[in-house]
Structure 1
Amino acid sequence: MTTPTVEETSDVSIDAPIVASHNKYLEDQTVAIRSRTIPWEGYQRASLITEEELSQIRQFEKSPTAALNEAGDSYIDLFLNLLQKLSRADTIQNSLVLIDDVLAESEGRVNIFYRLAEQKGDISLPYRPFFKLLKKDDEYIQLKSAKIITYLLIHSDAATKVDATELFVWIAEQLQNANANIVDIAVQLLQSLLSVPEYRLPFYQTPNAVQSLVGILKKGSSNAQMQYQVIYTLWLLTLIREIAADLQRKFDVVPVFIEIAKAAIKEKVTRVVVATLRNMLSKAPQENMAAMIGNKLLNVCETLAGRKWSDTDITEDLEYLKEELAKSVANLSTWDEYESEVKSGKLEWSPPHLSEQFWKQNASKLNDRDHELLRMLSRIIATSQSPLVLAVAAHDIGQYVKYCANGKRALDEIGAKTQVMQLMTHADPDVRYQALTAVQKLMTHAYNS
């Protein structure tokens, strides 16, 4: 996967079509709906549809292609009207099937929808009826409507991009669905939508959207296809510099990507992980370098580069990452190394932690930027499940208070003192020892005025 430059982001191909063939969930439901008989005559007798509408429906069912060629605008107008005035789920489902058939028959059929909207002078068309159906309490109606909206959006004129917030919110909700098939369909729709650069930032700004995507990866799914699809959407997002600069800070994705790359069996999963990491580093090095170094990405890249890959893009991206990371590591001071490690959250007994000289010279730097690194250590103690990480963090808190004037006061203010004291009863003996030692230093070094 060749990583495009910012100028090339509009020329992104989609590897999977809308609702790809490997998931038959929606297709199977459509087959069942086609087999049902809709009592259109009964609706006409009940004045729910007119006689003319009934005639159009029957004509379309007999020969869709001929009907569309003869009077495409009027048939699309009919279907959109049916969606808005009928309330029964089975009739709405059937109407959606007919509309989807129109779009599937030929890519050019989408123009009928836009031509109709222009004729009516209604800027909410052709989307409004389908957006409303996303709130309908019917799974099939929601899925089919989302598919149709997606198709319309990605084929719309570049100059008339619409507000797709309702669809993005719906997708964010489906990413947390207990039904794996629905999650799969939502991700595939997203792959298609994000092929359009204008939709990337709005989706990224949708509440819980990216958090849900990253959550799928953090669950550790063994489904390689799902991993690929989710990371592909993140790759598309990181083509935008603003997103590439923000993704790690908000969602801590670097360690997730690294673990997936180390364990991946499918080459395409490795390819998209490495390409995403390259996006992040090339577009926002200042924001991502520390996390990549701290999480030992250079070591991982060196290991991966030793394998044989059929895709040359993997080799090229790995070489880029290795070169950039190696240059940065070579220029790191001891403090830079320590800062990168803390920011990564992956603490270990590297030399800076054990050097008294290091702490004499650098303890006060934990106060910089409103105690940024000190707060990070506190957060690590509160959230980490690793005994090694907790032991090192507790040790560092002790060294900080030993060598930093007013250190005890700062620890009290951010709540770290209480967190360290709680570690004194931890199950791991080294964690207990480091916590006890840190607390002793806290008690020994009184407040400095």
Structure 2
Amino acid sequence: MRSVGGFSLEKTEITALKDMENLVKPGADDANVSSSKLSTVLIIWKCFEGGENRLHVELGSALLKLVKNVTESTVLKYALARMEELLPDGLRLRKRMVYFVPEGSSVDAAPFLRMVRNDTGYMQYAASHLLALFLTYDCHQSGFMAATVSDTMDTKLKSMSAMKMGAASSSQSDPSRSNVTRAAVASMMVLLRFEKARVVFVKQGGVAPVVELLQNSQNRAQLAYELTFILWTLTFCHEAIEKFAAVKALDVVVQQVTSAPREKVVRVALEALQNLLGKLSGYFNERMIDSGLLKTLNNMRERKWTDEDITKSIQAIRDVLIREYKELNTMERYEKELRTGDLNWGLLHTDKFWKDNFMTFENKEFELIRLLIDLLESDDSKTVAVALFDLGEFVRFYPNGKHIVKRLGAKKVAMKLMTHENAEVQKQALQCISKMMVNKWEFVNSYRYLACATHNQFSIHSTGIMAMTKAELLKHLQRVAQGATPRKALNSIHVRTIVDETLDVWTQSLRETGTASFHGLGRFTVDKKTGDIKFKASSLLLDKLSGDVSSSAKDRRDSDDEA
């Protein structure tokens, strides 16, 4: 027995280490095992597996003692590298694991957890990977170390949470953060192959960090593959399925199929989607259809894939979704989506859908319209924007629709949303309110415009409402002046606007005084009775449109401003 740094190695353990090192060429203590040493590793194991079982145990015991008792980084890197060589992540793992962890016993996780928490680079990665291997071995034993797995999961998730907001950018410029992610994700890929570990992972709140990391994994195909692989393993866990719906994991997996960074990413993403078919009473089927996955799969069928599993998965998923699509009419699909409280742009949110189905919404005293109005209070900006669009389309097509939504309280909520922090919500709120203000849609044509202004945007409705900046409005008027309408039309563009509840200075002035200038383009005047507005273009604008800005034009502008 020899004492080393406060602990002892048995003679047999020292002999086992020496025997192994005699087979390793100089430089074997390097942490990263290169491809040139693969033959050496095979020789080691040929001798290792050909010897007596006692020698196997002695070597495993010696390496574990080094990890547990030594703090010198060089020694630890040596021990970790040797253990990674001797414990391949594959079919032979269980056979070789008994040399490190005799049957009926468990590995001491503490030294590995210490390195996972405190070290960086190779030591952190190797300790994380080896601990995952030891814990998966324990998954096969009756005394599964749930507490250790929970502690390990907690450590990994903290590492992943620290990285998730900057996975796509920061980690590339910060190697230490990239290593944290690499270590956490690699070990999760090992652990989550086993059901008990998946349950612990879900209970620890592990699904959301993985989804968020995957959302930010652009241009990092290997990371995308590993994270998608983790989500695939979780599709076999009943406890994870509801979490998938809550954190919108399906949308992220579909995105991996659509973007197709690598074939292996597409393959595992399709396998995950295939496992989700039919789950939660068909919820995931509906989400796949609404996300446009069918169109993506149709396009993918035309492509030649080297991996035949991809072709099989494409066909299997497509067959199910086509059958589902035919069984449900559009209104049934719309109602299902509406009741989830999560709206997404798609075929169910277009003017064609509303033109075909608007009368159906009067059923049960406009129950679906009431649900739409409730969604205006959602925390999800996309859902709010889609709900505003749908309410506006209901108003546009349903007879007396604007009075119905006003009676149900939609107008007040939509007014408040015009100052929402999200630009898309602002735009949809503006358009929704505009539609509520129109009396006769047939009079809204190329000569009569529906216009609303809030902050620095100006929205004009002709064949469809579109947001226009000041510069875009100027270009639009210029096109009108160059032949679309007589030049005199510039002095009498008839528009209609909602002038209350907007915060822009000119709109506030328009409401209070009945007149206001608009950023030097001209002046609006409002008819208090009808709400009609006339826009009188400034002389400077007229000269700009004609391409002739002169000093006389400047004088005319000054006189207009004084007036």
Asked if the contact 1:377/1:393 (under 8 Å) is kept, the reply is: no
Distance 1:312 1:395 in 2: 47
Distance 2:155 2:411 in 1: 43
Asked if the contact 2:335/2:368 (under 8 Å) is kept, the reply is: no
1:266 to 262, 268, 271: 262
Residue by residue over 1:10-30, the C-alpha shift from the partner in whole angstroms, topping out at 9 and shown as x without a partner, is: xxxxxxxxxxxxxxxxxxxxx
Distance 1:271 1:425 in 2: 36
For 1:18, the equivalent position in structure 2 comes to: none
The alpha carbon displacement at 1:111 in A equals 0.3
For 2:297, the equivalent position in structure 1 comes to: 301
Residue by residue over 1:406-435, the C-alpha shift from the partner in whole angstroms, topping out at 9 and shown as x without a partner, is: 732x998xxx55653425995876652224
Distance 1:83 1:424 in 2: 53
Over 3 Å counting, the alpha-carbon distance change for 1:148 and 1:439 in structure 2 is farther
For 1:23, the equivalent position in structure 2 comes to: none
For 1:183, the equivalent position in structure 2 comes to: 181
Distance 1:424 1:154 in 2: 47
The alpha carbon displacement at 1:149 in A equals 0.9
Asked if the contact 1:425/1:432 (under 8 Å) is kept, the reply is: no
Counterpart of 1:199, as a letter, is A
For 2:99, the equivalent position in structure 1 comes to: 112
Distance 2:435 2:345 in 1: 21
For 2:363, the equivalent position in structure 1 comes to: 361
Over 3 Å counting, the alpha-carbon distance change for 1:424 and 1:277 in structure 2 is closer
Asked if the contact 2:358/2:394 (under 8 Å) is kept, the reply is: no
For 1:195, the equivalent position in structure 2 comes to: 193
Over 3 Å counting, the alpha-carbon distance change for 1:394 and 1:365 in structure 2 is closer
Of 150-159 and 423-432, the range deviating more from structure 2: 423-432
2:314 to 300, 305, 318: 318
Residue by residue over 1:24-57, the C-alpha shift from the partner in whole angstroms, topping out at 9 and shown as x without a partner, is: xxxxxxxxxxxxxxxxx9x95xxx325x539677
Distance 1:266 1:138 in 2: 29
Asked if the contact 1:291/1:344 (under 8 Å) is kept, the reply is: no
The alpha carbon displacement at 1:334 in A equals 4.2
Asked if the contact 1:154/1:192 (under 8 Å) is kept, the reply is: yes
Question: 2:87 matched to 1:103?
Answer: yes
2:137 to 140, 155, 169: 155
Alignment of 1:371-410 (within 5 A): 374-379=373-378, 382-384=380-382, 389=386, 392-393=389-390, 395=392, 402-403=403-404, 407-408=408-409
Question: 2:224 matched to 1:227?
Answer: yes
Over 3 Å counting, the alpha-carbon distance change for 1:83 and 1:255 in structure 2 is closer
* TM-score, reference length from structure 1: 0.69
Counterpart of 1:103, as a letter, is L
The alpha carbon displacement at 1:267 in A equals 2.7
Question: 2:282 matched to 1:286?
Answer: yes
Counterpart of 1:262, as a letter, is T
Distance 2:291 2:284 in 1: 11
Alignment of 1:118-133 (within 5 A): 118=105, 125-133=107-115
Instruction: Identify, as 1 or 2, the structure richer in helix.
Output: 1
Asked if the contact 2:277/2:285 (under 8 Å) is kept, the reply is: yes
Distance 1:111 1:269 in 2: 34
Counterpart of 1:274, as a letter, is L
Asked if the contact 1:390/1:431 (under 8 Å) is kept, the reply is: no
Asked if the contact 2:217/2:223 (under 8 Å) is kept, the reply is: no
Distance 2:240 2:421 in 1: 40
State the SS of the aligned residue for 2:126.
Answer: helix
Residue by residue over 1:127-169, the C-alpha shift from the partner in whole angstroms, topping out at 9 and shown as x without a partner, is: 3432343333444433222111122223346243322122222
Asked if the contact 2:129/2:186 (under 8 Å) is kept, the reply is: no
Over 3 Å counting, the alpha-carbon distance change for 1:401 and 1:218 in structure 2 is farther
Distance 2:421 2:75 in 1: 65
Asked if the contact 2:381/2:422 (under 8 Å) is kept, the reply is: no
State the SS of the aligned residue for 1:422.
Answer: coil
Residue by residue over 1:292-315, the C-alpha shift from the partner in whole angstroms, topping out at 9 and shown as x without a partner, is: 222222222222223333433333
The alpha carbon displacement at 1:316 in A equals 3.0
Distance 1:424 1:169 in 2: 35
Instruction: Identify, as 1 or 2, the structure richer in strand.
Output: 2
The percent of aligned pairs where both chains have the same amino acid is 17
Over 3 Å counting, the alpha-carbon distance change for 1:237 and 1:363 in structure 2 is farther
Over 3 Å counting, the alpha-carbon distance change for 1:117 and 1:88 in structure 2 is farther
1:170 to 142, 148, 155: 155
Distance 2:299 2:322 in 1: 14
Counterpart of 1:361, as a letter, is N
For 1:63, the equivalent position in structure 2 comes to: 19
For 2:6, the equivalent position in structure 1 comes to: 49
Asked if the contact 2:294/2:318 (under 8 Å) is kept, the reply is: yes
* Residues matched between the structures, number: 383
Larger Rg: 2
Counterpart of 1:403, as a letter, is I
Counterpart of 1:203, as a letter, is F
Structure 1 segments unaligned to the other structure (5+ residues): 1-40, 442-449
Of 221-230 and 89-98, the range deviating more from structure 2: 89-98
Question: 2:338 matched to 1:346?
Answer: no
For 2:487, the equivalent position in structure 1 comes to: none
By relative contact order (CA 8 Å, sep 6+), the higher-ranking structure is 1
